[in-house]
A = this chain, B = another copy of it.
Amino acid sequence: MSSNVSRIADTPDFGGLVFRPRSDAPIWQQIHDHVLALIEDGRLLPGSQLPGEVHLAEMFGVTRITLRQALLQLQQEGHLTSRKGVGVFVRSPPSALSVRDGSRFFDSLRADGKLVETHTLVLEEDFADAAAAAQLHLPVGAPVIRLCRVRAADGQPIHASTKILPARLLPDFAAVYARRQSVTDVFVAHGIGKYRRIETRISGGFATVEEASQLALTPSTPVFRTSSVNGDAAGNRIEWSTGCWLLTSVDFVFDAPHPR
């Protein structure tokens, strides 16, 4: 009762509904559409908890399995998350964010007036494995810095990333990064004022359990995966970044190199 999430168990929006078995659309889809409307209308706020599946199924007059089919769809779309033993929660209005490719993906979010938060999960020294060595043109075993972060827009985690950087080029990484949590600031402090994107890759997949927990998703939700390499003005590779994004929340935009 004293939790910090809103409880909506007695909201009247769930009861008294008529779902006809054969009215051109399956029942689970009608439930899906109805709950989606509640979310998009703001009658279900992000972070709030839904009634238990047993109760919900009762309110809608269907079996739990039928109800779960509707919830499953909503989870795949990123509208709901479930935590085993806890409950089902409204995740966000995954309105498409436009993410432009420049040196960094996230700049355009701030320009959009979104509140962007960065959580640093891991910052450690390590040695390059084969993949990192290939991406950064380093020998295998070269010292690197590993930085894992999660970024949230308007309170909803939307992007989990791991950056690998050559440690030799950035001896003061930890000290500078601690001040502002900004990789750009670290580059500037090491005399790298300008850097640019060398390659970007976008692929698709399904969230692993780790990605799911970082992004507050249900495992096996479809996601984007990005891999990008940045270089300094001379073309030296200084950063390899891999990221994971909720499929329905982003919209990658690539402008032409010479717009006019």
Q: Name A's B-contacting residues (CB within 8 A).
A: 65, 73, 76-77, 96, 101, 196-206, 220, 222, 224, 235, 247-248, 250-260
Contacts and interface: CB of A to CB of B under 8 A. Distances in A.
A256 B197 contact: yes
Contacts of A257: 257-258
B260 A200 contact: no
A250 B224 CA distance: 11
Q: How many copies does the complex hold?
A: 2
B200 A253 contact: yes
A252 B252 CA distance: 11
Contact of A253 (B197, B199, B251): B199
A132 to B, nearest CB: 19
A252 B101 CA distance: 13
Please give me the 8 A-B residue pairs with the lowest Cβ-Cβ distance, nearest first.
A257-B257, A204-B247, A222-B222, A200-B254, A202-B252, A203-B251, A198-B256, A201-B253
A197 to B, nearest CB: 6
